Amino acid sequence: MSRWLQIAPKLEMRAIIRFLWAKSCNCTEIYGQLHEVYGENAMSRQAIAKWCNMFENGRTDIDDAKREGRPPTATNSEIAACVNECILANRRITINKISNELDISHGSVDKIIADHLEFRKVCAQWVPRLLTEEHKGKRFESELHFCKVTKRKEMTFWTKS
């Protein structure tokens, strides 16, 4: 009896396909064995057939082939450091100004600011995203406690209509 695996990395699957292909298993047998172990996460029959054909035609590696096109260079750590310097120099700087200054796309600047640097705009200034949801909850609870302690009766601000 085999164990069922939930995670199936592409390279691991390809290595198994290559191994079973070398043992002269056909595509249907390979699919059956992969499906038995990986379940729904197994590669499709068409993908297995494609890899078997590539191995049959002389391919030996299981890595992805190099692709045409420009590599993603706008979101590297050097550019992120430059964006960080721009923001620290002027917290009111816009994404468009950073984009023009560093000669990278608007989307790349936005991705760097949001994902890598974790800044967000507050009152037209870039600030680090420091408060977690837990912090926000504790802050809200302490504000409610303060209102109760001071015995304010005007809690209309907190009530939602």
pLDDT tens, residue by residue, 64-76: 777 777 666 667 8
Query: Residue 18: pLDDT band by 50, 70, 90 thresholds?
Result: very high
Question: CB of 83 within 8 A of CB of 112?
Answer: yes
Query: Residue 4: pLDDT band by 50, 70, 90 thresholds?
Result: low
Chain Cα centroid distance, residue 73: 17
Q: Which residue has the tokens 């304010």?
A: 152
> What pLDDT sits at residue 37?
86
> What pLDDT sits at residue 7?
61
The 3-class SS string of the chain reads CCCCCCCCCHHHHHHHHHHHHHCCCCHHHHHHHHHHHHHHHCCCHHHHHHHHHHHHCCCCCCCCCCCCCCCCCCCCHHHHHHHHHHHHHCCCCCHHHHHHHHCCCHHHHHHHHHHHCCEEEECCEEEECCCCHHHHHHHHHHHHHHHHHCCCCCCCCCCCC
Angle (nearest 5°) at CA 135 between 131 and 136: 85
Once rounded to an integer, what is the mean pLDDT over residues 4-17?
Answer: 77
Q: What is the pLDDT of residues 93-141, one digit of tens each?
A: 999 999 999 888 898 999 898 888 888 887 777 777 767 788 788 888 8
Question: CB of 48 within 8 A of CB of 30?
Answer: yes
Once rounded to an integer, what is the mean pLDDT over residues 142-148?
Answer: 81
User: For the chain, which residues make up each domain, given as ranges?
Assistant: 10-57, 77-116
Kindly report the average pLDDT of the chain as a whole number: 82
Give the CATH fold of the 10-57 domain: Arc Repressor Mutant, subunit A (1.10.10)
CA dihedral 58→64→68→72, nearest 10 degrees, is -160
Question: CB of 86 within 8 A of CB of 98?
Answer: yes
> What pLDDT sits at residue 86?
92
